[in-house]
Amino acid sequence: MKQEISISKIKGVQIGQAENAAAGTGCTVFLARNGMKAGLDVRGGGPASRESELLKPMAAAQEIHGIVLAGGSAFGLGAADGVMKYLEEKGIGFDVGVTRVPLVCQSDLFDLTVGDPFTRPDGAMGYEACKNAEKGNYRDGNFGAGCGATVGKFAGMDFCMKSGIGSYAVEIGALQVGAVVAVNALGDIYDWKTGGKIAGLLSEDKKSFRQTEELLYASTQVVENKFTGNTTIGVILTNAEFGKASLCKIAGMAQDGYARSIRPVHTTADGDSIYAVSLGTVQADQDLVGTLAAEVMSEAIVRAVTSADSAYGYPAYQDLAGKQE
């Protein structure tokens, strides 16, 4: 029987967060002291990433030691420097004789239009998030990579809503599958169970919703630059044993969770990316885990929206609760 569990119940990884609330940006780190096998699937047309080539099945590295989700767009990729410093100090990484090189992958979302565009996640923030991982300070809401997350930005930032980071996990017998996702989409967010809209593009009086897809369909005119602040980035965690190729497939199946919860999704203005990591030795069917990955990702997206608080002048779910379509 499938049961909900806390994301913290999945062992083999430490999750920590740090943010600069005044500047509207932050980062979330996933650390594996003993290494973790990982795959990556990228569907958005504008990703900001670091070391993503490591996760291709043809690459030599079979395990990585950290994943970073962060704000700051490409400027925020420096957060991984702090994560590498922390892991090297702990003696964690690939042994090259003179030291150990931590293998750290990172994906960033665009939050530069929310707070201070010149304050971004950096090495110091990444290091702080690692120290917080020791205490397990992960929380859903306006924290870590979700600090400056917003959704529904097709008509510009004046009509968007505050989002955040969310998590959800389940277990079936010994198998555990969970998701953590920072939701910063161009499109609208829907409850995958009911089909009702829970966040997104606001009406002109900001008291109800408009349909982003309908606004998109209203004109065939080419829009040259939709980069008003997008990209949804997430991680699937499982204690099932898989290699990189299988994890890339599981990450791809988890993108179905994006597709049924975010519309439109995977646009040229989004850098939508999902990592999938193996943290255990439980034997499980790949298609089962991939199907569960899509489900927990959809629910984590809901949690990211419903746990967010209004901030930076942007209303959150609680401000419009009951106005779902």
Q: Is the pLDDT reported for residue 99 higher than 90?
A: yes
Reading the block at residue 181, the tokens are 């996702």
Residue type, 245: A
* Distance from C-alpha of 269 to C-alpha of 110, rounded to nearest angstrom: 10
Q: Check: CB of residue 37 under 8 Å from CB of residue 63.
A: yes
Report pTM: 0.94
Phi-psi label, residue 12: left if phi above 0, alpha if psi -120 to 50, beta otherwise: left
Main-chain phi, psi angles of 51, to 5 degrees: 60, 25
Lowest mean per-residue pLDDT among 41-50, 65-74, 116-125, 310-319:
41-50
H-type alpha helices, the chain: 79-89, 123-135, 212-217, 244-261, 286-306, 317-320
Tens digits of per-residue pLDDT, 143-162?
999 999 999 998 899 999 99
Among residues 300, 256, 248, the alpha carbon closest in space to that of 275 is found at: 248
CA-based end-to-end distance of the chain = 32
Q: Mean pLDDT in the chain?
A: 93
Average pLDDT over residues 3-8: 97
Percent of the chain at pLDDT exceeding 70? 95
Per-residue model confidence as pLDDT tens digits over 23-40 = 999 999 999 999 999 999
User: d(Cα 117, Cα 76) in Å, to the nearest integer?
Assistant: 11
CA distance 85 to 65: 12
pLDDT in tens, 197-229: 999 999 899 888 888 888 778 766 666 555 556
**CATH ID of 2-320, from 3.30.1330.30, 3.40.30.10, 3.60.70.12, 3.40.50.720:** 3.60.70.12
Confidence of residue 299 (pLDDT cuts 50, 70, 90): very high
Question: Per-residue confidence at 185, pLDDT binned at 50, 70, 90?
Answer: very high
- Residues 172, 283: Cα–Cα separation, whole Å: 12
